Amino acid sequence: MNTKPSRPAGPPRKLRSGRDPKTNAYRLVHGQADGWKDLYVDRLGDFLLIQSPLPLTDPQLEAAKEWKATLKIKGVYFKKLNRMVQQSTTVSASPRLVVGLEAPDEFEVMENGLTYRLSLKQGYSTGLFLDMRENRQRILSNHIEPGFTVFKSAPGTATVLNTFSYTCSFSVCAARTGATTINLDLSRKYLDWGRENFRLNQVNPNDHDFIYGDALEWMKRLAKRGDRHDLVILDPPTFSRSKQSGLFMAKRDYGNLAKAAAPLVRKGGVLLACCNAAGLSNAKFREEVRRGIRSCGRKIVLSFSATQPTDFPVIKNEPAYLKVSWLRLD
């Protein structure tokens, strides 16, 4: 363990130095990969969020004060990582202030030139998953890799189905290209949060659909009525529970999820499949996604596996957890 404040190691220097004019939300310290075992620090605009399964130590607090001064941060919060988060109350799950000024109930951050509303007082999650930044940029730029675009037709004519949409950040990027989006989530609070993210980026949410309900059941319903989309996004939580579908476990059920999503992808369209379940290997994840797609008679004609962004570096003792597949279907 470090015993004195240390500047975060490794890439990306411009992003982590705070000099990127389009992004002020990113991971500053990623555990052992940056020399800080079990410590994860996110910059969220004017605030830092420290996360660890262990209590905050004095050396870590001193380092946080240094980062606060260097990046001109207003306040530093600490959140204890908790696997039993679903049993926690909003108050107990929310981070606590440890240094500096208290954050307002809601504040804004910038990513790739777009604005998102965040909160450190709404429970365990803040409103934006930073490890998906590069995949949001792929939608925003309509570029996955050379020769592989998100939208084959003009983006302004595209439709996007965003399941488990959370605060709709993927959809904001799609909408800024001119696409029309459908957002499914089991939380009215997060769908309202998504509408606000649309407004913050000069997109009228009334031109898009926000559907409260079980994503799996709604996918079945949309398939029956013949819906087809240029992009279908699967980014489910590791665990979820609904009255209609019962308990969903990504490790166990991702293949069935892909099977439900594939019929909703237009011929030549793209399925974006994401998973952060640590217990599901990348190889098994890809196998399950492909099994689900094949089981409904669809074929993959182009694929790309995205890695974690550079501010989430990977080493042997800090292995990759994020799994992302971009798949064009026939």
Phi then psi dihedrals of residue 148, to 5 deg: -135, 100
Is 308 found in the same domain as 210? Answer: yes
Instruction: Identify whether 124 is part of a domain.
Output: no
Is 184 found in the same domain as 79? Answer: no
Find all residues with CB under 8 Å of 145, minimum gap 6, and list them: 304
Is 196 found in the same domain as 63? Answer: no
Domain finish residue from 113, 140, 157? 113
**Please, are residues 99 and 65 in contact by the beta-carbon 8 Å criterion?**
yes
Residue that has been written with the tokens 């389009």 in this structure: 22
CA distances from 231 to 77, 178, 197 (A): 36, 13, 20
Is 90 found in the same domain as 166? Answer: no
How many other β-carbons are positioned within 10 Å of the β-carbon of residue 82? 14
d(CA 307, CA 183): 25
What six digits make up the tokens of 156? Answer: 């302004």
Is 139 found in the same domain as 107? Answer: no
Strands 239-242 and 246-249: antiparallel
The whole-number pLDDT of residue 10 equals: 42
CATH number for the domain that contains residue 37: 3.30.750.80
Instruction: Identify whether 134 is part of a domain.
Output: yes
Residue 73 is given by DSSP the state: -
Is 105 found in the same domain as 184? Answer: no
The length of the chain in residues reads: 330
d(CA 39, CA 50): 7
Domain finish residue from 57, 88, 113? 113
Is 163 found in the same domain as 269? Answer: yes
The whole-number pLDDT of residue 19 equals: 82
In single-letter form, the type of residue at position 297 comes to G
d(CA 51, CA 42): 8
Domain finish residue from 79, 113, 147? 113
Is 165 found in the same domain as 25? Answer: no
Instruction: Identify whether 232 is part of a domain.
Output: yes
What angle, 0 to 180 degrees and rounded to 10, lies between the N-to-C axes of helices 169-176 and 188-200? 30
CATH number for the domain that contains residue 266: 3.40.50.150
Instruction: Identify whether 206 is part of a domain.
Output: yes
Q: How far apart are the first and last CA of the chain?
A: 51
Is 72 found in the same domain as 187? Answer: no
What six digits make up the tokens of 216? Answer: 């799996």
The whole-number pLDDT of residue 320 equals: 93
d(CA 136, CA 231): 13
Strand partners, 324: 274, 306
Residue that has been written with the tokens 């954050």 in this structure: 103
Instruction: Give this prediction's pTM.
Output: 0.92
d(CA 304, CA 286): 11
d(CA 36, CA 129): 21
In single-letter form, the type of residue at position 179 comes to A
**Please, are residues 161 and 54 in contact by the beta-carbon 8 Å criterion?**
no
Is 95 found in the same domain as 201? Answer: no
Instruction: Identify whether 261 is part of a domain.
Output: yes
Is 311 found in the same domain as 246? Answer: yes
Instruction: Identify whether 1 is part of a domain.
Output: no
d(CA 71, CA 43): 9
What residue numbers bound the domain in which 157 lies?
Answer: 129-329
Per-residue pLDDT of the chain (330 residues; tens, 9 = 90+): 343 334 444 445 677 877 889 999 999 999 999 999 999 999 999 999 999 999 999 999 999 999 999 999 999 999 999 765 544 445 567 899 999 999 999 999 999 999 999 999 988 889 999 999 999 999 999 999 999 999 998 768 999 999 999 999 999 999 999 999 999 999 999 999 999 999 999 999 999 999 999 999 999 999 999 999 999 999 998 756 666 666 667 677 889 999 999 999 999 999 999 999 888 899 999 999 999 999 999 999 999 999 999 999 999 999 999 999 999 999
Instruction: Identify whether 119 is part of a domain.
Output: no
Phi then psi dihedrals of residue 259, to 5 deg: -65, -40
Q: Please state whether the peptide bond connecting residue 12 to the residue before it is cis, i.e. omega within 30 degrees of 0.
A: yes
Helices (H), 96-214: 133-141, 169-176, 188-200
Instruction: Identify whether 121 is part of a domain.
Output: no
**Maximum distance among all alpha carbons in the chain?**
61
Strands 75-80 and 47-52: parallel
| Structural domain count, the chain | 2
Is 258 found in the same domain as 217? Answer: yes
Helices (H), 212-330: 215-224, 250-261, 282-295
How many other β-carbons are positioned within 10 Å of the β-carbon of residue 27? 26
